Amino acid sequence: MSGSIERLRDFVKDNALIQAVIKNRGKRQLFLVGGIVRDIFLDITPVDYDFSVSGSGITFARSLARKLKGAFVLLSEKDDEARVVKDSIIFDFVGLGKGNIQDDLMRRDFTINAMAIDCNTLELLDPHKGQDDLEKGLISPTSFDSLHKDPLRILRGFRFALELDLKLTKEFHRQSQNLDISKIAAERIGYEIMRITAAPRSFKMILEMNSLGLFRQIFPEALKIMEDDQLWTHSLGTYEALENLVQRGFFTGIEPEFSNYFNNYRKISLVKLSGLFHDIAKPDTIMVRKGEIHFYGHDTKGARIVQVLGNKRLKISRPEVGVLHKLVKEHMRLHLLATSKELTDRAIRRFFRDLSDDWFGAMMIAWADGYATAGWTRHLEEVFVRMVELKRADDAKPTAEKLVNGHDLIAMGLEPGPPFKVILQEIYDQQLEGKITTKEEGMILARQLAEKYGDGA
């Protein structure tokens, strides 16, 4: 343990930016606190720096930003929190006001986050024995009602357990029962859910969160599917299959497409969440026809529901909501292609065109959906290989200049409208397939298509 403390002290002494903060503290008490202390003990490079400072945190941060020529960001006037950004490094400051550092540490969530180092004396302050819990690999609440004081802490606990590879204590599990998280701001929940689902081995935590009823509170629009044991078991199985796919197996060998697609942790979260909720509308669309059960339109309606989850329940960005919508809406597409009598190059190109940047995620969800239903199938993988090979071959070719464009159609006497796009795409598809090779052939086809769509020239 003494070695760990020395490493912590050396980190503070050797870090030029921390020393710059200390140099400008004046007569204030200054403490490096919380996650950064924990991370240094775990030999994890900190990504941001949290400080508690006597007096006003906002006043100190504003003064420091001016002296260091950094950017000042007001975080919360009510909580006296402010941020300074210097050389892409984030420093967060909170004022102790009339309290002291011991009061600050007593209010924190878990023992491993309730440690501080006095920047004046380099003394470690650890009233809850957080360092001991780190040595044991445990996450434990700081008090008997820590989670009830802020129910979001249950999600933070799950996240820390996953990201730091620690175990949750019996006390954590005791406090986890019957927590009401429905009143927590969606942005805070969204941040934790995205981090949890991005973790490599989150499935067991997902099951535990599910058993605690947390998903029912977070995603009330998904209550119907959660109440259907068969559908929800399949959905959870799809999530598990996706998690395994991200770590190893068929798709990890498709490079550089795999690495390019999962270029940040949030994309992993979006794919897993899309897999979890891909059948969310099945309870609303169930139909029995000639003795067979159908779910007509569940993909389209499901896409609308996950938009609500993204916008209202997680408050993620508009582009991220768009990914959820697209992946759920198109999750049947590949099954239909793989089971068609004849899979044409045109149908494959249309898939890539419609899915755009998210074709890789759509393939993974289709694979995981099929695996959770019937296990591994060679045919589906063979279809995927053919599709990827065609895309790579197309991408390697110089972009073909279109033989016919919109100006040509107007010159031919057509008025711009919905048929325009259909006609131009059909001409371009036939051009790619080598069925037409000259502008003259393209114009002949354009006239034929114009007549077909009731707009002759």
Q: For position 92, which CATH number holds?
A: 3.30.460.10
The predicted structure's pLDDT at residue 456: 44
Q: Is residue 352 part of a domain?
A: yes
CATH of the domain at 156: 1.10.110.30
Q: Residue 65 and residue 71: Cα distance in Å, rounded?
A: 6
Question: Could you list the residue range(s) of the whole structural domain that residue 372 is in?
Answer: 228-396
Contacts of residue 57, Cβ cutoff 8 Å, sequence gap at least 6: 51, 80, 81, 82, 93, 94, 95, 96
3-state secondary structure of 128: coil
- Whether residues 258 and 362 share a domain: the answer is yes
The predicted structure's pLDDT at residue 298: 96
- Whether residues 237 and 372 share a domain: the answer is yes
Q: Is residue 223 part of a domain?
A: no
3-state secondary structure of 344: coil
Residue segments in the chain with a per-residue pLDDT below the cut of 50? 2, 456-457
- Whether residues 328 and 191 share a domain: the answer is no
- Whether residues 265 and 371 share a domain: the answer is yes
Which of 136, 164, 194 lies at the terminal end of a domain, its last residue? 136
The predicted structure's pLDDT at residue 457: 45
Q: Is residue 280 part of a domain?
A: yes
The predicted structure's pLDDT at residue 3: 56
The predicted structure's pLDDT at residue 411: 81
Q: How many domains does the chain have?
A: 4
- Return the percent helix, strand and coil in the chain, to nearest 5: 60, 10, 30
- Whether residues 372 and 430 share a domain: the answer is no
Give the global pTM: 0.86
- Whether residues 387 and 245 share a domain: the answer is yes
Q: Is residue 168 part of a domain?
A: yes
- Whether residues 153 and 125 share a domain: the answer is no
Hey, CA dihedral for 318, 319, 321, 326, is it positive or negative? positive
The predicted structure's pLDDT at residue 454: 60
Tokens of 311: 């916008």
Q: Residue 123 and residue 246: Cα distance in Å, rounded?
A: 43
Q: Phi-psi bin for 391: left (phi > 0), alpha (psi -120 to 50), beta?
A: alpha
Beta-bridge partner residues of 124? 117
Which of 73, 105, 136 lies at the terminal end of a domain, its last residue? 136
- Whether residues 286 and 432 share a domain: the answer is no
Which of 218, 238, 263 lies at the terminal end of a domain, its last residue? 218
- Whether residues 147 and 245 share a domain: the answer is no
Q: Is residue 457 part of a domain?
A: no
Q: Is residue 372 part of a domain?
A: yes
- Whether residues 151 and 61 share a domain: the answer is no
The predicted structure's pLDDT at residue 158: 98
- Whether residues 200 and 83 share a domain: the answer is no
Q: Taking the CB of residue 121, how many other CB atoms lie within 10 A of it? A: 9
Burial (Cβ within 10 Å: 0-12, 13-18, ≥19) of residue 263: exposed
The predicted structure's pLDDT at residue 378: 86
Largest CA distance in the chain: 87
